[in-house]
Each structure stands twice: as C-alpha cells, then as structure tokens.
Structure 1
Amino acid sequence: MCTSTGTGSAVSDVLIENDRARVTRWRFPKRDDNTGWHVHEHDYLVVPLYDGVLDIRDAKGNISQSDLRSGVPYFGKQGVEHDVSSPNDFEFAFIEVEFFVEA
C-alpha cells in the first residue's frame, strides 16, 4: 500500500485488490493534477495508457520529468516518496500494479 501524506487532485480507481497485489488506474483529467505526496510500501509497476510526460517531485523538492509511452512499463522500488503531477494539456492516465509479496 501507499502511505499518503497529502491530498492530490488526480483520480484513482482500484481495479483489483487481493492478498498478492493491487491494481489502480490513475487519471489526471487536467494539467497540474497530482497524486499528492505518498510513500510506496511495496515494489510497483506503472503502465502508461497514453503517450505523455509526468513531473516527479522527490522528498528533497527536486523535479524530474518522465517521458512516457503508451504500453511501455517502468518499475519502481519500495520506499519511493514523491508527488506525481501532469504537465500535459490533455487527460493522462496510467495503471499501477503494487506487488504485496515479500522479496
């Protein structure tokens, strides 16, 4: 699970949740929508549904921009703390899969 430390404007819909994983669709309906600050308590996989970019603000306030392509996944490690926002002028979305199994 993610521990949320702030409220964001992005929309999350849990599609699947069981004792092994959670699958969430994250939508950013408009520019500057964000997830809110959160810490990933599990390793996770993100699959973008569209081409676009996301701004990732880390715990130190640094911002990096990720260029994402539809269907091209990336892997994130447990313990990551960040706020994710969309600078796109269109709705952006991705699927996030959190793995609950211990390594």
Structure 2
Amino acid sequence: MTRPQAKATQLIDDPRVRVTRFDFAPGAETGWHTHGYDYVITAVTDCAMLLEHPDGTSTQTTVTAGTAYRRAEGVEHNVVNDGDAAMTFVEVELKEPAA
C-alpha cells in the first residue's frame, strides 16, 4: 500500500539547529528515516501517530497539541498519521553535541 507523503517545510537550517514543520494528511507518512541528531518534537495539533520500527513492530501514540518530547540520534522509524484529521508537528534537530 502506498501512502501519501507528509509535507516537510524547513524553517531554519544553520550550524546549530535544523527546524522543520511536518504537515500530514490522514494516512500520510514521513517515509523511513534515521535521525542523525538528537531532536525535539513539538505537536502543533493533536497527533495520532503510528510509529513503524525496523524490527517490523509498530507503536501507536497520541501527542497532545502543545506538548513535546525528545529523542537521541540514531532513531530509525516511519511516522504515519494514524488519525482522521490532519496533524502537524515541528521538529528541532540539535546539530551541536551536548556540553
């Protein structure tokens, strides 16, 4: 099954951070990717996510609008809008290593 692609809009890309807004129609996906940096996600809308993992498993989660989470570099997954409404989040990738 082919899913529509989420729209990625780069807002900032400088030596310290990369900030990208992701807009998903229902059923849209990011496509498989591996995070090369630590990152923070902030939900703009409620985000009903299906996270597909390399081992073939998947996880369903809802990230409430206005909340955030962070992950370390190296995460590999595909993110799918698992809800009936459009969803949006902003991803901030931290290019500089922790002090």
TM over 0.5: yes
Residue 8 of structure 1: how far off its partner (Å): 6.2
Q: C-alpha distance in 1, partners of 2:17/2:45?
A: 23
Shift of 1:64: 0.3
- Long gaps (5+) in structure 1: 1-6
State the SS of the aligned residue for 1:32: coil
- What residue identity is the alignment partner of 2:92? V
1:3 counterpart residue number: none
Structure 2: give runs of 5+ residues left out of the alignment.
Answer: none
Query: Quick check: 1:10 aligned with 2:6?
Result: yes
Residues 42-73 of structure 1 show CA distances to partners (whole Å, capped at 9, x for unaligned) of 00000001113100001111110111111110
Equivalent pairs counted in the alignment come to: 96
Please name the residue that 1:74 is paired with. 69
Equivalences for 1:52-91 in 2 at 5 Å? 52-91=47-86
Compute the TM-score of the two structures, normalised by the length of structure 1: 0.88
Asked if structure 1 preserves the Cα contact closer than 8 Å seen for 2:54 and 2:77, the reply is yes
Helix, strand or coil for the counterpart of 2:85? coil
Cα pair 2:52 2:59 within 8 Å, conserved: yes
Amino acid at match of 2:62: D
| TM-score, scaled to structure 2 | 0.92
Where does residue 27 of structure 1 map in the other structure? 23
Q: Please show how residues 41-52 of structure 1 align to structure 2 within 5 Å.
A: 41-52=36-47
Most deviating of 52-61 and 38-47:
52-61
Q: What secondary structure sits across from 2:78 in the alignment? A: strand
Q: Distance in 2 between matches of 1:48 and 1:95?
A: 6
Greater than 2 Å deviation, 4+ residue runs: none
